[in-house]
Structure 1
Amino acid sequence: MLERIKIKLQYLLPKQWLTLLAGWGADKQAGWLTQLAIKTFSRYYKVDMKDAQNPEFSSYHSFNEFFVRPLHADARPIAAGDQVLVQPADGTISQLGTIRDGQILQAKEHNYSLEALLAGNYQLAAEFQNGQFITTYLAPHDYHRVHMPCYGVLREMIYVPGDLFSVNPLTTANIPNLFARNERVICIFDTAFGTMAQILVGATVVGSIETVWAGSVTPPREGVIRRWTYPAAGDEGAIVLEKGQEMGHFKLGSTVINLFAENKVYLAVQLSNGSITRVGEPLAEAVVTPATS
C-alpha cells in the first residue's frame, strides 16, 4: 500500500516546482542553517566523507558545494590498460546487457525504446543497435561527479526536456519508460571503441546537470530540445577528454546511462544488477577482432 501511494505521488506532485525550489535553496549560503541541512542530510543518508578533498562539513558554504564535493586525488584509482574502459560514477548498477530489437531493459517487465531515449534520432539510434548498455543509479549518499570511461572526443550534446520523476529503484521498477520520459543530457563521443553515449538523466529535485565544457546545461528549462555539435579530433576547438577525467556532475542524485556500439566492447563479467560501482574500476573491455591473414 505504501509503495502504491509513493508511486501515485510521483504523478501528482508538482515536480518542476519542487525541483526549482530545491535548486534555489541548495545554492543559498545560509550559515548555520546550511550547516544544519548538510549534517542532517549526511546523518540520514550515511554519507562517507573520508575520501572527500575537504572532509569537514564547515568547508562547504552551500548545500550544492557539499553535494558536488570533489574527492582527494588518489581516492579513485583508474584501472590501467588501453583496452579497458572504467566506471563513470560511484553508484549501483540497476540494469546492463545487450540492446535487443531497439529496446533497453529498465527493470523486470519494463523495456523502453532506444530511439525514444535518444529523442527520436533514428540515425543516432542505429549506431547502438545490438550494442551494450549499462545503467548506473547514483543514490543521495554517493559521489556525484561523472567521469569518462575512456578517451573520447565529444561529437555532440543534446538536451532533452522531460519529466522529473524520481529515479530510485521503486520508481524505476514501476514507472514505464522512465528514462525516456525524464529530462536528460545526451553526450556522444567518438572513441577507440566506436561511438559511445554517456547520458545524464535528471530527476526530482536535481537542481542542475552540468558538463565541464558547457557549465550548466539545465537549468534553464525552456521546454525544447537543444543540440550542440563540436569539432572533430585535431580540429581547432575539439573537446577531448581523457580516460577517468571528470565530464560533468549532478546537483542531487540521479542516473547515468552508457551506450556502446555492437561488437565493440563486452561488459566486465563480474558486473550484474545490484553491483556497487566506483569511478575508475573496470567497466568493460574491447572486443578484439582476430587478424586476418
Structure 2
Amino acid sequence: MSLLTALTWALPHRLLSSLARGVAYSESPWVKRRFIDTVVRRFGVDLDEAADPDPASYASFNAFFTRSLKPGARVADPDPRALLMPADGRISQLGPIESDGRIFQAKGQSFTAAELLGDAQAARVFCGGSFATVYLSPRDYHRVHMPWTGVLRETVHVPGRLFSVGPAAVRHVPRLFARNERLVCHFDTDFGPMACVMVGAMLVSGVETVWSGIEIPVYGDAITRKDWRGKGIVLERFAEMARFNYGSTVIVLLPPGAAALAPGLEAESPVRLGQALAYRPG
C-alpha cells in the first residue's frame, strides 16, 4: 500500500472535499487559471473537443471541469442493440455479478451489490447479472450519459467516506466503492431494472443530476431515498444523466439476461462515451 493511500484512512475526507469545492467554485482569475492550466498540462486535456476551447473563458475551475463537448465529439454506437459506455475513462473492472451478489473490485478485493446499493432487496434482481466499473481521470469529460433508455424510479444517497478511487486505492482499500459516498440511480427499462451508481471520491466535491441538480453535497449521515415514480422522468439512450466534479467512478449494474458485455473489454481498457458496453440479445 502506498503512503498516500495509507494516509487517506486518517485524513478528514469531507473537510478536504469541502475545501476543494470552495477552490473549484472560486471565480478568482488567478485561482481558476492556475488550476485549469495545471490540469490541462499535467493530464493532457484535449481542449480541441470542448464546446468552448478557451480555458480563460470559464467562470471557475468547476465550470471548466464539467465542460460540455462540441456536437459530434462523441457519438452513440449505431447498433440499436448496443448499451452504451456511460462515460469517458477506463475500465476498472467488469464482468458477472456472482449469484450471491458479489462484485469483483481488484485481486483479493470485492463487495456485494447489497452493500453498493445500500439495499439488499434492490440488489437481488442483479444477482447473476453483469457490471461495469468505469474510472474517470481528471483529463476526462466529466458528464455521465445513459447506457440505455430508462424511466427514473428512485435515487438513493448512501453516505460514506471519500477515499481516492485511483488504481492504488482500488487495489488496497477493501470494499472501496461500497465505502465511499455515492448516489444510486435506479431506472426501469424494457429489459428490467438498471442501476447507475455515481461514486464520490477524495476531493470530489459534488454530484449533480439533470433532473434534480446538486445531490452531493450536502454530505449525509443517513441513507436518503427519493421516489421518482410517476414523475415521468424518461432519459433516452445516450442522453446526459449526471456530472462529477474532479475524477471519480460510475458503476452500471444489469440484471441477468439483459445484455452480453461487449467483446474485447477488460480491466484497464481505455473507453469513450458512446462506444458499446454490452449488446442486447437478438
TMscore range, shorter length: over 0.9
For residue 226 of structure 2, the aligned residue among 217, 225, 228 is 228
Q: In the alignment, is residue 239 of structure 1 matched against residue 238 of structure 2?
A: no
Q: In the alignment, is residue 214 of structure 1 matched against residue 212 of structure 2?
A: yes
Which stretch shifts more, 174-183 or 43-52? 43-52
For residue 40 of structure 2, the aligned residue among 32, 39, 42 is 42
In the alignment, the residues of structure 2 paired with residue 111 and residue 160 of structure 1 have an alpha-carbon distance, to the nearest angstrom, of 18
In the alignment, the residues of structure 1 paired with residue 229 and residue 162 of structure 2 have an alpha-carbon distance, to the nearest angstrom, of 32
- Which residue is equivalent to 2:268? 274
Q: Secondary structure at the match of 2:74?
A: coil
Q: In the alignment, is residue 5 of structure 1 matched against residue 31 of structure 2?
A: no
- Which residue is equivalent to 2:165? 167
- Which residue is equivalent to 1:109? 108
Q: In the alignment, is residue 262 of structure 1 matched against residue 256 of structure 2?
A: yes
Q: Secondary structure at the match of 1:11?
A: coil
Unaligned runs of 5+ residues in structure 2 are none
Structure 1 residue 276, shift from structure 2 partner: 0.9
Q: Secondary structure at the match of 2:79?
A: coil
Structure 1 residue 32, shift from structure 2 partner: 2.8
Q: Deviations over 1:187-209 (max 9, x none)?
A: 01111222100000000010100
For residue 90 of structure 1, the aligned residue among 64, 88, 93 is 88
In the alignment, the residues of structure 2 paired with residue 192 and residue 284 of structure 1 have an alpha-carbon distance, to the nearest angstrom, of 15
In the alignment, the residues of structure 2 paired with residue 42 and residue 193 of structure 1 have an alpha-carbon distance, to the nearest angstrom, of 40
The answer (yes or no) to whether the contact 2:2–2:168 under 8 Å persists in 1 is no
- Which residue is equivalent to 2:278? 284
Q: Secondary structure at the match of 1:12?
A: coil
In the alignment, the residues of structure 1 paired with residue 55 and residue 27 of structure 2 have an alpha-carbon distance, to the nearest angstrom, of 13
In the alignment, the residues of structure 2 paired with residue 33 and residue 125 of structure 1 have an alpha-carbon distance, to the nearest angstrom, of 43
Q: Secondary structure at the match of 1:50?
A: helix
In the alignment, the residues of structure 1 paired with residue 187 and residue 269 of structure 2 have an alpha-carbon distance, to the nearest angstrom, of 25
The code of the aligned residue for 1:66 comes to F
Which stretch shifts more, 170-179 or 7-16? 7-16
Size of the aligned set, in residue pairs, is: 281
Structure 1 residue 95, shift from structure 2 partner: 0.5
In the alignment, the residues of structure 2 paired with residue 170 and residue 193 of structure 1 have an alpha-carbon distance, to the nearest angstrom, of 35
Q: Secondary structure at the match of 2:45?
A: coil
Which stretch shifts more, 237-246 or 223-232? 223-232
- Which residue is equivalent to 2:176? 178
- Which residue is equivalent to 2:142? 144
In the alignment, the residues of structure 1 paired with residue 273 and residue 101 of structure 2 have an alpha-carbon distance, to the nearest angstrom, of 28
What TM-score do the two structures reach when normalised by structure 1?
Answer: 0.94
The code of the aligned residue for 1:130 comes to G
Q: Secondary structure at the match of 2:9?
A: helix
Q: Secondary structure at the match of 1:186?
A: strand
Q: Secondary structure at the match of 2:28?
A: coil
- Which residue is equivalent to 2:73? 75
In the alignment, the residues of structure 2 paired with residue 193 and residue 266 of structure 1 have an alpha-carbon distance, to the nearest angstrom, of 13
Q: Secondary structure at the match of 2:77?
A: coil
Structure 1 residue 78, shift from structure 2 partner: 0.8
Q: Deviations over 1:47-67 (max 9, x none)?
A: 111110001101112000000
- Which residue is equivalent to 1:291? none
Instruction: Supply the RMSD in Å over aligned alpha carbons.
Output: 1.0
Unaligned runs of 5+ residues in structure 1 are 289-293
Q: Secondary structure at the match of 1:36?
A: helix
Structure 1 residue 165, shift from structure 2 partner: 0.2
For residue 57 of structure 1, the aligned residue among 55, 58, 75 is 55
Structure 1 residue 88, shift from structure 2 partner: 0.4
The answer (yes or no) to whether the contact 2:126–2:256 under 8 Å persists in 1 is yes
